[in-house]
Structure 1
Amino acid sequence: MTDALGEALHLLRMSGTFYCRTELGEPWGLTMPDMADCLWFHVLTSGRCEVEVDGGLTALAPGDVLLVPGGQGHRLFGGDADAPLVTTLPHTFETESYAVLRHGGEGAATHLVCGAVRFDDPAAKHLVAMLPNVLHVRQADDMRATIALMAAEAKAVRPGGEAVVTRLADVLVVQTIRSWLATDPAARTGWLGALQDRQIGQALASIHRDPARPWTVERLANESAMSRSAFAARFADLVGEPAMRYVTRWRMHVAMHRLRSRDSTVSEIAHGLGYESEAAFSRAFKRIVGVSPGQVRTG
C-alpha cells in the first residue's frame, strides 16, 4: 500500500536560505523579517524566549522548537528591550548562509538556532502551506537526541560545526512537522486527511508522481481499488473538489514551480504535463491561476 503522506514527508527536502547560531543576553529583542516562500524555525537550546507572531505570544523552554511556516515577520524577545530587525545587526558569517549573532545586555544568557528554509518540490510546498501559522513542539521525546546534539554544537565553534548545525536543523524541521501531523486533529482533515486515507491517498500519490498521465476518474478509481461512483464521491468529500479538477490544479501547481525555476520553456512544460499543445496548456493555466504562463515567467 502506498503511504501518500510518507511520500510527501520524504519530499521535504529543503534548501537553507539562512541559518544563524544566536547568543543573547537579557534584555534582548529581535525582529525577523518577512521571508516569502520560506519557513522560519527557532530551536531554543538554553535560556528563555518569547515569540510574537500575528499578535499571539508563545513562550519557549529549552528543547522547544517553533516553526513559522508562512515565513511572515515576527518578534523574539527575552526581557523588556527594543527589537531591531535582525538583518540590521552585525553578524559573523562563517559561510554565505550561516552566521553567528551576539546581541543584547549583560543579563542571563539565551542560546537559539534560527533559520529560514525553502522547499522546492510542489508536494512538499503544498504540505507546508497546510500547516498552522505557528507550530510549537515542546520537548518531544523523539526529538530530544537531535536537540541535544544541536545544543552541544552550538556551545562553541568547532571544525565542521556549521555543517552539523544546518543538517540537524533540517532534521528538526521535518521532525516537528511529523510530530504535528501525528498529534493534531487538524491534520486529519482536508488534503492532509485525504493523504492518510488508504484508498484516496493512493490516488493522490499517483497524481503527484505522474501528473502528465492521461488521468480519468475511472483510472484513478482503479488505482484506489474502488468503483467509479464510490471513488468520485469519496474523493470530493475528503479533498474538497472533484478528482479531475484536482488533477488540473495539481498540474498547474507543478507548472508554477517549473516556470519559476526557469529551467524549461513553456512548450516543454506543457508537453511534460501531458498537454498536446502549448495553447491548450496556456488556456488551462490561465483558467486555474488567473494569469498566463508568460506573466509568471517574467514576473
Structure 2
Amino acid sequence: MAEPLTPHGFLDGVSRLIRLARLEGTVDVRCLISGRFSMEHEAVGPGTVPFYLVLHGHCTATTGSAAIDLAPGDLLVFSHGDAHQVRVADGRKRRYEDEPGPTFVTRRTVGGGTPELDLFCGHYRFDSAAGVLLFRLLPPLVHVTLDDAAVRLADVLREEAGFDGSGTGVIVSSLCEALLAMALRSRPEQRLDTPALWTAMGDDVLGRVLAEVVDRPGEAWTIERMATAASMSRATFLRRFSTRTGTTVATLLTTIRMMIAADLLTSSAESVSHIARQVGYSSESAFAQTFRAAVGEPPARFRKKSVARD
C-alpha cells in the first residue's frame, strides 16, 4: 500500500525549492505614468530574473513574437532573462522624471495628475546553482493574475513603496519573494496564463507525489512507484504528468535532485559520495556526470568555487 501523502505537501515542496534558490527580490523602478510610454530591457545573464507587477492601469510586454497584455493584479516574470519591452501605446507621449529614493527610483509623468499606470519593475537575483536550475525549469514567461491574498500583499508593497524610508529595502525584498511564491502555486481564484507550469499544476495528487520526492530525493523514485502513489496506471500517470507539468518525469526528478545536491555541496562538509547517495545515486561517477550536465562543472570544482566566493 502506498504511504499516505500529506495534504499540503506540494506547497511545502515548492517552498523548499524556492528557499534553496536563495532569491533576493528587488524593486528597481516604480512607474507612475500617464499617456504613452515605452521602456526597453536588454537580455540579462543567469542569476537575474526581471519581473513586473501591475497595481493599476494596463500595459503590454513584448518579447520576440509574444505580446502579453497586463492588467491590475498581473505579475509577469521573465524566467530566462530574455530581452523585452514594456509599453503603453495609447495616449499622448509626455515627459517623465526619475526621482531617486533610498530603495528604488520613482518614474513619474511631469504634470500628469493621477497616474494611469502604477507599475513595479524589479528583478530576482540569486547566485546559487539551485536558483539557475529552478528558473531553467520554468517557461521563459510566467504570467499570473494574482489571487485575492496576493493582491492584498501587493497593496502592502504599494504602501511600503510610498513610504520608502528606513527598513523599506528589506521589507520590499521579502514582499517580492512572497509574491513569487504565491504566483508559483495554484489557487481556485488565481488565473495562470502560462501553460503547464509545474509549480502550479493545479493537481493535488501529482503535487503530493512530487512533494514526497522533494522530501526524500534519495529513494528509488521510479515511474511505477510514483504511479502507484498516485493510484494511477503507469500510462495514465505519464499522460497526466506531461499534460500538467509540461516536462518529463526524468527531467523534473533530476532537476530536484541536482538542486538539493547543489545546496548540500555549498552548505555542508559531507563528502561528494555521501551527497550522491542522499539524492539517489549509488555511483559517485554517475552523480558527477549528471551534476556536471546540469550545472556546468563537476561537484568538487563547484564546491571549491562556492567556498572561495563565500
Q: TM-score, normalised by structure 2?
A: 0.65
Amino acid at match of 1:278: E
What CA distance in whole angstroms lies between the structure 1 residues aligned with 2:100 and 2:268? Answer: 34
- What is aligned with 1:133? 141
Aligned with residue 30 of structure 1, among 39, 59, 65 = 39
- What is aligned with 2:308? none
**Is 1:71 aligned with 2:81?**
yes
What CA distance in whole angstroms lies between the structure 2 residues aligned with 1:32 and 1:136? Answer: 20
Q: Taking structure 1 as reference, are residues 144 and 284 closer, same or farther at Cα in structure 2, changes over 3 Å only?
A: closer
What CA distance in whole angstroms lies between the structure 2 residues aligned with 1:4 and 1:171? Answer: 18
Aligned with residue 12 of structure 2, among 7, 10, 33 = 7
Aligned with residue 211 of structure 1, among 214, 217, 226 = 217
Conserved 8 A contact 1:212-1:273 = yes
Higher alpha-carbon deviation: 64-73 or 233-242: 233-242
Conserved 8 A contact 1:28-1:104 = no
The Cα RMSD (Å) is 4.6
- What is aligned with 2:276? 270
What CA distance in whole angstroms lies between the structure 2 residues aligned with 1:281 and 1:113? Answer: 41
1:232-286 alpha-carbon deviations (Å, 9 max, x no partner):
4444333359977865564345445666x58666445324334344224235556
The CA deviation at 1:141 is 3.5
Conserved 8 A contact 1:194-1:239 = no
Paired positions, count = 281
Q: Gapped runs of 5+ residues in structure 2?
A: 306-310
Q: Taking structure 1 as reference, are residues 126 and 92 closer, same or farther at Cα in structure 2, changes over 3 Å only?
A: same
Amino acid at match of 1:137: T
- What is aligned with 1:159? 166
1:154-196 alpha-carbon deviations (Å, 9 max, x no partner):
2343333333333332232233333578544976x68568782
- What is aligned with 1:145? 152
Matches within 5 A, 1:113-124: 113-118=120-125
Amino acid at match of 1:239: F
Q: Gapped runs of 5+ residues in structure 1?
A: 83-88
What CA distance in whole angstroms lies between the structure 1 residues aligned with 2:176 and 2:33? Answer: 23
- SS in structure 2 opposite 1:44? strand
The CA deviation at 1:210 is 1.5
The CA deviation at 1:135 is 0.2
Q: TM-score, normalised by structure 1?
A: 0.66
What CA distance in whole angstroms lies between the structure 1 residues aligned with 2:38 and 2:125? Answer: 25
What CA distance in whole angstroms lies between the structure 1 residues aligned with 2:198 and 2:227? Answer: 18
- What is aligned with 2:238? 236
What CA distance in whole angstroms lies between the structure 2 residues aligned with 1:232 and 1:38? Answer: 38
Q: Percent identity among equivalent residues?
A: 23
